[in-house]
Amino acid sequence: METTATALRRRRRFAGFGLVLGLVVLGLLRADAGVRTTFVLNDARGARFPLPDLVVPVTGTVRGLALVILALAVVQALRGFGRRDAAMVGVMGGLAVLALLTWAGGGTSISVVSLLRGTLFAAVPIAFGALAGVLCERSGVINIAIEGQFLAGAFTAAVFASVLGSAWWGLAGGILAGALVGLMLAGLTIRFAADQIVSGVVLIVFATGVTSFLTSQLLAGTPAWNAPVRFQAFALPGLSDLPLLGPIVFDQTVLVYLMLLAVAAVQFGLFRTRWGLRLRSVGEHPAAADTVGIGVLGTRYRAVMLGGVLAGIGGSWFTLEAASQFSKEMTGGRGFIALAAMLVGRYSPVGALGAGLLFGFADALATALQRLPVPIPSSLLRATPYVITIVVVAGLVGRLRVPAADGKPYVKA
């Protein structure tokens, strides 16, 4: 385990982080004293069991939250929280975000429901991409190409849904394209034992080139091929009437439900089935797996292809739910955020969902803040998810346990 010296250094670093955070929050003052922020807890369309709005005074709330953060930082510095150190950093960050929202929403109202709905919605590509990464890397293949799978999936989903006139066909197209890029990655890294990170980067450039080329060459001339029929939100009867939780979780689009199902399925499959055990063994010690009769290369092929299927679903989100048509390079680096989410989620499907929700929240928060009278330029707000990724990866990756054979081609001795 960790030596006391590094643990102490880490504790000090966390405490320093909390101290700075608390002081920044304390600095969030508003000139107009006595102003209040309203947190709306109901769906805009009306709820069957309405909740009262939460109205809080800005100054008092922000100061109170700052004091709690500072107190936590002091405790952190003095004796630490042991195993809950990292969690406490999360708590401090959460409190700071709450203070930021209270401050930004002063004089107006913030819809908690639409913020959290947006979080779940924006988490879809990140979670699917991270799941794809988990499957590939647990089997020993680094998948940098998620961004390329997103682009290919988004493009094909748009064309299929436009030409065949159904969002479900679009989803099928997205899955096909994602799996195809997965097959190319598998071929390069497994069959030809090429460098895995270079192969991934190459496939991103390739997918970017092909989709951009076909967009200007084909779609620009025939707009009917780029007018996808999109998925509509549908409420699950009964469950969607629950207060707060109903409109956030149970009145969503198809891919959000699919994401929750996929996370549960992969989590169960990886850790509770023979298939998952074999997949993980191939990623940890392929030679041993080979000895007991598990086909290493075949298992890796299937894992990478299945990852491609999941990444393809994530790619479909861009054109079947988020935007109304395909445009060049529309994925905007989300494939890499998914990669970071996989690392933050520590190679576990549930962790991938959690990290996806974190980044989704950053996305939704940036969108929500753009609508409020906040003196922060919108271009800087749009950069926040990327900055968060750097901070989180820098804070966590060093302490990751990577699958032992991750990134190493298997050559039978």
Q: Which residues bind other proteins (CB under 8 A)?
A: 142, 144, 188, 191-199, 201-206, 208-210, 212-218, 221, 328, 332-333, 336-337, 339-340, 343, 377, 379-380, 382-383, 386-387, 389-390, 393-395, 397-398, 400, 402, 406-409
Least Å distance, CB 317 to other proteins, is 19
Least Å distance, CB 208 to other proteins, is 6
Residue whose CB is less far from other proteins, 144 or 305: 144
CA-nearest of 135, 129, 137 to 154 is 129
Residue whose CB is less far from other proteins, 1 or 411: 411
Least Å distance, CB 341 to other proteins, is 11
Residue whose CB is less far from other proteins, 235 or 402: 402
Burial classification of residue 26, based on how many CB atoms lie within 10 Å of its CB (0-12 exposed, 13-18 middle, 19 or more buried):
middle
Residue whose CB is less far from other proteins, 78 or 411: 411
Least Å distance, CB 109 to other proteins, is 28
- Rounded Cα–Cα distance for residues 241 and 270 (Å): 34
Tokens of 63: 């100061």
Stated as kind and residue range, the H or E segment containing 262 is: helix 254-272
For residue 318, CA distances in Å to 65, 128, 210, 272 come to 37, 12, 17, 32
Q: How many CB atoms lie within 10 A of CB 145?
A: 37
CA-nearest of 229, 228, 234 to 253 is 234
Least Å distance, CB 246 to other proteins, is 35
Least Å distance, CB 329 to other proteins, is 8
Question: What 3-state DSSP class applies to 377?
Answer: coil
Residue whose CB is less far from other proteins, 241 or 406: 406
Residue whose CB is less far from other proteins, 243 or 333: 333
Least Å distance, CB 114 to other proteins, is 23
What contacts 354, CB < 8 A, 6 or more positions away? Answer: 345
- Rounded Cα–Cα distance for residues 170 and 148 (Å): 17
311, 194 in Cβ contact below 8 A?
no
Residue whose CB is less far from other proteins, 167 or 177: 177
CA 81, distance to chain mean position in Å, is 28
